[in-house]
Structure 1
Amino acid sequence: MDSPVPAATTDQRPLRMGDIAPDFQARSTLGPVKLSDYRGRWLVFFSHPADFTPVCTSEFVAIARAAEAFAALDCGLLGLSVDSLYSHLAWVRAIRDGFDVTIPFPIVEDPSMAIGRAYGMIDADSADSSAVRATYFIDPDGVIRAMTWYPLNVGRSVEEMLRMVAALQRTAGDDVLAPEGWRPGGDLLATAPQDQQAVLAGHDMAWFHRTQADAG
């Protein structure tokens, strides 16, 4: 199934936080997938350089084992690489046979690199996908709320992916901030006053860093 996503051009502005995630339709290990089908829930959309590689295998095993934790956050998972659907299927079987882990989420094929280039995962002039290990955290409205990029030789932290989703959900729509290392149930930060009168009226020396219990 051809993807309607156009290849990125050298003068195309890179995707940024706050942009609408480009829609696409493609084949996956669990059947045809359309990104907009995930509207209404959170989505972690992540790419990997290639099937049957050591770091990517470690990531997919760990993400599969954490799938229920993502589901508890009402967050879908969607993987992608430039490998063909048949390579994905063979890799999924090898992971099941070698690690006793079944990949429960779709892995999208992108042999033309159209999706990867549209997302900026692959440079428009690149002939291969060796630089791809990107993660997009997409909200229920299809807006990219966070992005992470890792090099070929360093695997992502699944714990941090879960923490990112939880923090984005907790701070969405509320006038609160998630501090360093925040975990659900931990103290949050209040937004700092935005004018001199409010700052001078208070007696708290740390007016710019006020913690508060999570009442949500």
Structure 2
Amino acid sequence: MSLQLGQIAPDFEQDSTEGPIRFHDWLGEAWGVLFSHPKNFTPVCTTELGEVARLKPEWDKRGVKPLGLSVDPLSAHGEWSRDIAETQGHALNFPLLADADGRVARLYGMIHPESDPTLTVRAVYVIDPAKRIRLVLTYPPSSGRNFAEILRAIDSLQLTDAEKVATPVNWNPGQPVIIPASLSDAEAGQRYPQGWRTLRPYLRVVDLAAQD
């Protein structure tokens, strides 16, 4: 059975480039992004890991800890890490799991036999500080991920947790958001004294920045 939103992310212990990791303990009170790669020394994976390293200030700003996974052994990660630094301009600054026995990959359903029975797909799990799975993305091995979108989605999750709103299509931080239908106009008036636009009774748009 595949993992679903709201479930507790399975705990595990596995070797990594920064030593053994027990996942829940390592995550602590932070948000986490667990993402898998098909194989070491492959071109798309090399670009992705360099990008995650480049984005360290963005992860840190949001309280997010990235954790990569490859089904290659730990001995292969060192040489590949050098390749990543030389070709992408950013050395690894986050741990990369060495899931050579596939324990974590199987636990998280990262191997899709109809795609390839031996390689992991490009899976992404965003996990909150309560260890609950909040977002799941799956890309095929041939398509590199857009980590700007993953950051945007985390921004949405963190905002909607804090403000009890929803974000509309193509939302970016600082843009108006949607008042949930579960909130009456009277309740919304107390929460958003700056007012809002009612496009339909079920579609109310508020600018949170106007509160400042």
The amino acid across from 1:207 in the alignment is P
Query: For the Cα contact (< 8 Å) 1:193–1:208, is it kept in 2?
Result: no
Query: In structure 2, what is the equivalent of residue 210 of structure 1?
Result: 204
The amino acid across from 2:152 in the alignment is R
Is 1:72 the equivalent of 2:61?
yes
State the shift of 1:97 in Å: 2.5
Residue 99 of structure 2 is aligned with which of 93, 97, 110?
110
Any stretches of 5+ residues in structure 2 without a counterpart? 185-196
Is 1:19 the equivalent of 2:7?
yes
Note the 1:1-216 alignment, pairs <5 A.
13-36=1-24, 37-123=26-112, 127-129=117-119, 131-193=120-182, 204=198, 206-215=200-209
After the TM superposition, which parts of structure 1 deviate over 2 Å for at least 4 consecutive aligned residues? 97-100, 123-127
Aligned with 2:53: secondary structure?
helix
State the shift of 1:193 in Å: 4.6
Any stretches of 5+ residues in structure 1 without a counterpart? 1-12, 196-202
Aligned with 1:68: secondary structure?
helix
Identity of aligned residues (%): 37
Query: For the Cα contact (< 8 Å) 2:47–2:88, is it kept in 1?
Result: no
**C-alpha root-mean-square deviation of aligned residues, in Å?**
2.2
Deviations 1:157-203 (A, max 9, x none): 011011011111111153200111211211110012589xxxxxxx9
Give the TM-score of the pair, scaled to structure 2.
Answer: 0.86
Deviations 1:49-105 (A, max 9, x none): 011111111111111111111111010000001011111111101112233311100
User: More helix per residue: 1 or 2?
Assistant: 2
Query: For the Cα contact (< 8 Å) 2:175–2:207, is it kept in 1?
Result: yes
Change in CA separation of 1:204 and 1:170 when aligned onto 2, cut-off 3 Å: closer
Give the TM-score of the pair, scaled to structure 1.
Answer: 0.84
Aligned with 2:81: secondary structure?
helix
Aligned pair count?
A: 197
- Report the more deviating stretch, 47-56 or 120-129: 120-129
Aligned with 2:29: secondary structure?
coil
Deviations 1:17-39 (A, max 9, x none): 11100001111111111211203
Aligned with 2:163: secondary structure?
coil
Aligned with 1:20: secondary structure?
coil
